[in-house]
Structures are given as C-alpha cells and as structure tokens.
Amino acid sequence: MKVTRQPTNPGPAAWAKILPEAARHPTLEDDRHVDFLIIGGGFAGLTAARRISELEPTATVSVVEAFRLAEGPAGRNSGFMIDLPHDLASDDYGGQAARDHQSIRHNRAAISYAADMVATLGLPQACFQKVGKINAAATDRGIAHNQGYQEHLTHLNEPFEILDDRQMHELTGITFYKQGLFTPGAVLLQPAQYIQSLGAAIVSNRVAIYENSPVMALDQVGGMWRAETAKGAISAPTVILATNGLAQAFGYYKSRVVHIYTYASMTRALSADEVQRLGGAPNWGFTPADPLGTTVRRISGIGGDRIVIRNRATYEPRLSPSERRLRGVYAQHDDSFDARFPMLKGVEMEHRWGGHLALTLNGVAGFGQLEDGLYSACLQNGLGTVKGTLHGMAIAEMCLKHPSTIVDELLAEPAPKRLPPEPISEVAATIRLKLGERAAGQEL
C-alpha cells in the first residue's frame, strides 16, 4: 500500500538549531531484513527500539525516520513531560477519578522509564530535568481554572503548592502573572537534545536508525512486511507504526484523527545586560492555567539564555497550515511576548515554527495490533512526550509478549471515536478553538 501523505513541519526545529549539529545516522540505501522495523523516530519509536533491545538483546531493530531525528514534532515541542492528565480541570469532570489515577500511574511509569534511559544510557542531565511545572494564571479566569484544577488534585490526593504574584515575580522577573499552581512531578526536556542523544545511545550492532528515509509504501509479502523508501527497503516479520497522526497515511484510523498544529517562537540568545534586566531564575516552565493560553519556557545553558513561547492551535486536516495562518500566529506570539516581557522590548524572535499533534475525540490512543505482525503506538493526544514514551515502551512489551499490566489496561481502552464527516469536523473544531482562544483573553 502506498503511503498517502508525508509529514510537514513548518519552520525550523529550533531546539536542534541551538545545539551543536548532531552526528548523522545514515539514509537507507539498500535492501535489509531485520526482526523489528519501527517507522517513526520520535518518542514512541525510539522508546520502542530501546525497550525491544532491552527485552530481547539479540533482536535486530531498524528505526526509519522521514527527517533527521528531532526535526519532527519530537524536537518541536515545548518539552513538558507531564505526569498529570491534561484535562483534569475540564468541566465535565466527575466519576473520572479511577481513570485519572490510572492515567497518572501510566504517565509516571513513562517518566520513570525515560529517567532510567537517561541514567542508564548516559544522556545529558541537562536535557531531562525533573523540576515540576507551574500552571500560570494572569487573570481571574486563569485563577478560576487553577481553582478547579486544585480541587481535582485534592480529590486525587495529589500534592501541589500555590504561588502568589510576588513568588511568581521572584521566579520569573516579570509581573504578568497573578498566581501559579506548582505540581512537582513534571520533567522539563530540551526535547531535541533528549531525542538526539537517545537515538545516538541506542544504536548498536543490532539497532540501526535511518534518517531522511520516509517510508513510501508498506506491504505484506509472503508473511513478511516490506517498507520501501526512496532508495532502499526493509523487510521484517514485525513492524511498529510510531508515526502518531501520520498512521492515517498508512491507511489506519480513517476519520478518527483530529489533526492539530500548534506553534512556538524562540528569542535569540539574550545578552548579559538583557538577562540582568529580566531577573528571575535561569530556567522555568509555565503551562497556561487556561488550556488555550500561552506556554512559556525560560531556558539557559547550551543554547544561551532564551525565552520560548507557544500558543495557538489550528485544525489542519490537510496537514499544511497556510503562510497566512502562520503570519497571524507569529504576530500573536509577538503580542504575547511583549505583554509578558516589557523589559525585553525589541528582542527579536530568532526561530518560529509549527508542529503536528494528533488528538482523538474520546482522548484514547491508537495502540495495539493493526494486522498480523503490524502494531501501532500512535495518536498520543495532548501529552505526546509522555504518552509517546508510554506507548513505545508498552508496544515493545506487547510485541514480545512480555507480561504487562499497562499493556492490558491500554488494550482495554475503547477504540478512537469516529469524527463527523468534513466539512462538519473542520467547522466545529475551528469554531471551538477560536472561541476558546478568544475566551482565554489575556492568558493568550
């Protein structure tokens, strides 16, 4: 079967741009046979490769990635690896405690597995910092969101701390935020450094990664799967699709994927004088109290002192946000930056970009067996760094029939729900996002 679409990534992968260039993995240029083929080199694909090689050290594994590692969404995100469910504060909460407890347990298992990879494989500590995160509120509406979230955390017996405006100012140097809700379990990633160093560390005489090798066709021939790229092919009895929403391009989850793009901008490195004018701590990360508000990271270290902001989400069923749309989003980024960082007026954005996420209507993943020998660790929904890691780990365990409560629980989830036909989905999603963003007001 021909793969109908290839991924698109507007703008540069900035987190990789601020690192020294990573060593290249080869492009696939010949015909190979391996025990396990993994398509997609993001969180799910690399974690699956690592877990297979751990459970079955003699197995041969190839990961094929359409671009270079960390050029896709895995290196384009804001780097929040979050242990708590995203929608804890949703209005329809009720009777969900058991589900939330399970999700938290899964997320923590993924974070703990990632931490173990960082330690065992010797990845740089700077790319994986378990420092927690803050849900930042700039308005009464944001504070009300935090209040709801706080109630659910109390109900779930999860620890948190409320920071007042003075504490938020001390931490950040800015006076924009009125309140913060700190939870300790999240990790802040330098996502490109994490993905690149994970890729480099898992390669061995048994595990290979092929970059710039988009799979263009995937077929089952005589009990064996065969994936073709422009210059080569790999056949394997077992294939794992780790392509997130692009699983649809392989013919799966038709009408079940909400294709969303979200966007970020990163300043140039701040001068010493600008760092002093800003004040506050050198590293922090805020997710917005209002789900459609702005995510902010203050980073320092290898790529210099910078601010990274992320906001806006658009429904893109054709996986191709227009130039006009990008211009509008980036203008919003400038407004959001100026409102928060008046002392940095005139500091330009050096990088601007967008990236793809895959949601489902009922928030479940595309996890499990698709066909004989073909498995899926896709459709991560909103917390893709943690869910991708979880599903990558679990799909390896499933393929190898390794006993796992997490696999059993994931397989017990319902299938992703079918979307209404187009253009109804597009209109409904666009209106919902627009109204949500308008209501977010100053939180944007």
Residues that bind ligand FAD (CB under 6 A): 3, 6-7, 39-45, 64-67, 72-74, 76-80, 214-215, 242-244, 246, 262-264, 310, 355, 357, 380, 383-386, 388
Measured from the CB atom, the residue of 41 and 303 that comes closer to ligand FAD is 41
Contacts of 223 (CB under 8 A, 6+ apart): 237, 373
Owner of token pair 């980036």: 330
Q: Shortest distance, CB of residue 166 to ligand FAD, whole angstroms? A: 27
For ligand FAD, the closer of residues 39 and 419 by Cβ is 39
Q: Indicate the residue among 174 and 379 with the shorter CB distance to ligand FAD.
A: 379
Taking the complex as a whole, the smallest distance from the CB of residue 124 to ligand FAD amounts, in Å, to: 19
Per DSSP, what are the bridge partners of residue 359? 258
How far apart are the C-alpha atoms of 240 and 124, rounded to whole Å?
A: 27
Q: Which residue is nearest to ligand FAD (CB)?
A: 384
Q: Say which DSSP state 113 is in.
A: H
**Burial group, residue 404, by CB count within 10 angstroms (0-12, 13-18, 19+):** middle
Instruction: Label residue 309 exposed, middle or buried (CB < 10 Å: 0-12, 13-18, 19+).
Output: buried
For the CB of residue 385, give the shortest distance to ligand FAD in the complex, in Å. 3
What distance in Å separates the CA atoms of residue 215 and residue 372, rounded to the nearest whole number? 19
Tokens of 143: 């504070």
Task: Determine the Cα–Cα distance for residues 381 and 24; give it in Å rounded to an integer.
Answer: 30
- Tell me whether the omega of the peptide bond preceding residue 423 falls within 30 degrees of 0, making it cis: yes
Residue 6 CB, nearest distance to ligand FAD (Å)? 6
State the minimum distance, in angstroms, from the CB of residue 127 to ligand FAD: 14
Shortest CB 424 distance to ligand FAD, Å: 25
Name the strand (E) or helix (H) holding 210.
Answer: strand 207-210
Q: Which is nearer to ligand FAD, 224 or 319 (CB)?
A: 319
CB 377 within 8 A of CB 39: no
Nearer to ligand FAD, 226 or 275 (CB): 226
Whichever of 42 and 293 has its CB closer to ligand FAD, that residue is 42
